[in-house]
Structures are given as structure tokens and as C-alpha cells.
Structure 1
Amino acid sequence: MTAQPFEKLDKEELRRTLADVIDVDATDIEEATDFVEELQVDSLLLLELVVVLEKKYQVKFTEQEMRTARTFSQARALLERKLAVSA
């Protein structure tokens, strides 16, 4: 099964995807939830998150982008920008 380009980012689907990878309940991820400070996401888990998102949404993240997206809101905004560019 090949992934299809996404036209619009589903916020709740993104929340569930992140929660699955981090192994937390989706309700634990709010707009300002800091992945590192609040959910104890380490560098290996962050890399896993990036790989999952890149595959699912057919985008690529730079190392700098990965470092700056520390909250759900920042990650969503970054992914929305990436999807807009690739559309």
C-alpha cells in the first residue's frame, strides 16, 4: 500500500499518531505539551517520531526543524507548512 499525499492535516489524527509512537494517551497531548519536558521524549524517540511522520505524510524534516518543534502546536504548524509546500 502506497501512501497518498495529504491535502489537509487532521489535527486529531496527528495527535493519535504522536501518542501511539510516544506510548501515551492522546488526551495527554495538548497544544502546548512539551514533548521533551512533559512526555520525556528522548532523542531516539524523537527520531522515531520524525520517521513515522515523514513516511505517513510524505515530507522530509531538516535537523533544525526537528529541534524547533517541541510542542504539539509547533509540530502541527511545521507539518502544515511542509504539506502546503508539497501540495
Structure 2
Amino acid sequence: MSISQPDTGTALGPDKEELRTTVAAILDIEAADLTDNAHFMEDLAVDSLMALEVVVALEKTYGVKFTESELRSVVSLQQAYDLLAQKLPTP
């Protein structure tokens, strides 16, 4: 019996649409409203606690750890995607 792991992306990085869906669900907004460069706090009115919740969920979902400075840098979907692409191991 094998345990399947969630699809966390490819050698090129995480799947951006899956990431968009995950982050949108956490922020309780429509995925279509979460553009790549929408600033979480300025454009989407996300408070710091909700932003932290996004980062914690990404750490759990993708099995990575972010440093404190990296936590502060994740203010848009694109920045989250880029950081995850750096952190995820390539096969």
C-alpha cells in the first residue's frame, strides 16, 4: 500500500493555479480575483494575521520552512510562487 503525496508542483516549481486556489480559499475570495501581483494587504485588504495564516498554510501544504525575512516578503501570489519555486526540491 502506497501513500500518495499531494501534487506540489513540478521541477519548474509549484503549480500556480493550485497555489492560487489554495491562497484564495484561505483569504475567502474568488480565485479569479487573486491576480498574480495583487498586494495582499493593499489590494485585497488582508490583515497581518491573515497574511501569516497564508504563509503557515503554504509551509504545511508544500513542506517547506520560511525565514522571518521570507515571511515578510510574501505579499502577493507571484512572490509566494517565486519563493516556493526556490524552496521546493527538484527531482
Q: Give the TM-score category using the shorter length.
A: 0.7 to 0.9
1:17-51 per-position Cα deviation (integer Å, ceiling 9, x unaligned): 00000000000111111111011111110111111
1:1-87 matches, within 5 Å, as: 6-8=8-10, 9-84=14-89
For 2:29, what is the secondary structure of its paired residue?
coil
Following TM superposition, where does structure 1 have runs of at least 4 consecutive aligned residues deviating by more than 6 angstroms?
none
How big is the shift at 1:2?
Answer: 8.2
Question: Structure 2: where are the runs of 5+ without partners?
Answer: none
Q: How many residues align?
A: 86
On the 8 A contact 1:3/1:56 being kept in 2, the answer is no
Q: Name the structure where helix makes up a greater proportion of residues.
A: 1
How big is the shift at 1:4?
Answer: 5.3
The alignment's TM-score, normalised by the length of structure 2, stands at: 0.82
The alignment's TM-score, normalised by the length of structure 1, stands at: 0.86
How big is the shift at 1:74?
Answer: 1.0
- Which structure has the larger Rg? 2
How big is the shift at 1:70?
Answer: 1.2
| Cα RMSD for the two superposed structures | 2.0
Question: Structure 1: where are the runs of 5+ without partners?
Answer: none
Which letter maps to 2:8?
F
On the 8 A contact 2:8/2:15 being kept in 1, the answer is no
